[in-house]
Amino acid sequence: MSSVLYDVPGPRAQRRNAILAAVTIVVVAAIVAFVVWRFVLSGQFAATKWNVFTYTTVWVQISSMLLNTLKAFAAAAVLSLAVGFVLAIGRLSEHKWVRIPVAVITEVFRAIPVLVLMMILYYGLPTLGIKMEPYWAVVLALMAYNGSVLAEALRAGVESLPRGQKEAGYAIGLRKSGVMMLILLPQAVRAMLPVIIAQLVVTMKDTALGFIITYHELLYYAKLLSTQPGRPILQAALIIGGIYIVMCLLLSWFANWLEKRTHRSPKNPHAAQNDPAADDEATMTSVIAAQDLGRGGA
């Protein structure tokens, strides 16, 4: 096992690695032991602290709060994908009067922190006489921010495509919309799928910001639970944290699975061998070269 940092370890390096491993174990064990010791000392493992979680109603409440989190996430994800496509197409436009305003909007919404956007919608708009539900403040703020981030990703995906793709589209008589919809965007989405899903994981995590503007989601409920008898604040945070980690890990795993799947199909040589119609650039060039040679000979 050789990497850029080290070679296959010899006897001395093996000894040193064993010492480093021992040091790591000791340091990590010390940190864990310290935390557990504080937990024991402040009575965090006492039954009264965990008592709340033996009630069915608490779990029913937790699942309804989980549903609220997922509702905000689902709406924000769908809307930000839609906004992302619109802004990406707008920024790739050939008309200056479309391209420049869209570029400004994208850059500004990328620069404003999501929490400030949420606060503008929730605390700011009532100044102008518009009352907004926390749910919509969360969803719209996440839509604006993640929409502009996704737009940048899609634009980068389109711009990374070889120019020949677009030219070939025009050559077979497609219009601008056809070239974008049928040729450029499908390839850009495929190339950028890992980035898109990673951004959706960020969206899921950012729904927790709704806690600060009193949206009734998981973290809000954790705070609420901590006022129950026994004040189980760490316990509530641990359980809610576990739920978040599981949700985000599931999405990340889905992203990895999708990435592997998409990598398998288009340009992988093993797949290409089974597909006689596979035409990557190299084979096309060699076919054209062969045809030219043939013509020259005749």
Partner 1 sequence: MDVISENLDLWQQGIGFTLLVFFFGGLIALVLGTIVGAMRVSPVPIARAVGTLYVNLIRNTPLTLVFFFFVFGYSALALPNLSNTVLGILAIGVYTATYVAETLRAGINTVPVGQAEAARAIGLPFGQVMSVVVLPQAFRSVVPPLMSVIIALLKNTTVAAGFGIGVLPLLQSTISNSHTRPGTPMEVLLWVAAIFVALVMLLTWLQRALENRWRIAR
Amino acid occupying residue 139: V
Select the residue interacting with partner 1 from 71, 166, 205, 263 (CB under 8 A). Answer: 205
Answer yes or no whether residue 74 interacts with partner 1 by CB under 8 A.
Answer: no
Q: Determine, following the binding rule CB under 8 A, whether residue 101 of this chain makes contact with partner 1.
A: no
Q: Say whether residue 65 binds partner 1 (CB under 8 A).
A: no
Please report whether residue 51 would count as binding partner 1 according to CB under 8 A.
no
Q: 252, 262, 263, 272: which one contacts partner 1 (CB under 8 A)?
A: 252
Cβ–Cβ < 8 Å for 154, 85: yes
Per CB under 8 A, contacts with partner 1 among 226-245 are 226, 231, 233-234, 237, 240-241, 244-245
Q: Residue 262: CB partners within 8 Å, gap ≥ 6?
A: 190, 193
Measured CA to CA, the distance from residue 159 to residue 117 in angstroms comes to 29
Q: Could you tell me the smallest distance in angstroms from the CB atom of residue 54 to partner 1?
A: 20
Q: Which of 98, 77, 22 is nearest to 206 (CA)?
A: 77
Which residues are within 8 A (CB) of 233 and not within 5 positions of it... i.e. 6 or more apart?
Answer: 222, 226
Determine, following the binding rule CB under 8 A, whether residue 117 of this chain makes contact with partner 1. yes
Please tell me whether residue 70 binds partner 1 under the rule CB under 8 A: no
Instruction: Please report, for the chain, how many H helices and E strands are present, in that order.
Output: 13, 0
Instruction: Tell me how far, at minimum, the Cβ of 257 lies from partner 1, in Å.
Output: 16
CB of 218 to partner 1, least distance (A): 9
115 binds partner 1 (CB under 8 A): yes
DSSP tag of 42: T
| Least CB distance to partner 1 at residue 12 (A) | 12
DSSP letter string, 240-266 = HHHHHHHHHHHHHHHHHHHHHHHHHSS
The first and second tokens of residue 269, run together, are 């040589």
Sequence-separated (6 or more) residues with CB below 8 Å from residue 240? 62, 218, 219, 221, 222
What single-letter amino acid sits at 93? S
CA 270/CA 274 separation, integer angstroms: 7
Pick from 66, 156, 161, 212 the residue near partner 1 by CB under 8 A.
Answer: 212
Task: From 19-27, 84-92, 174-182, 268-276, give the range in contact with partner 1 by CB under 8 A.
Answer: 19-27
Angle at 291 between CA 288 and CA 295, to 5 degrees: 140
Q: Which of 191, 70, 202, 107 is nearest to 146 (CA)?
A: 202
Give the amino acid at 46: A
Least spacing, CB of residue 99 vs partner 1, in Å: 19
**Which residues in 153-192 contact partner 1 (CB under 8 A)?**
none
Number of residues that bind partner 1 (CB under 8 A): 60
- Contacting partner 1 (CB under 8 A), which of 58, 156, 201, 278? 201
- Residue 9 in contact with partner 1, rule: CB under 8 A: yes
Q: How far apart are CA 215 and CA 138, in angstroms?
A: 8
Tell me which of 101, 113, 186, 266 binds partner 1, using CB under 8 A.
113
The residue within the footprint of partner 1, chosen from 54, 57, 127, 273 (CB under 8 A), is: 127
Footprint of partner 1 (CB under 8 A) = 2-7, 9, 13, 17, 20-21, 24-25, 28, 38-39, 41-42, 44, 107-108, 110-117, 119-120, 123-128, 201, 205-209, 211-212, 219, 222-223, 226, 231, 233-234, 237, 240-241, 244-245, 248-249, 252
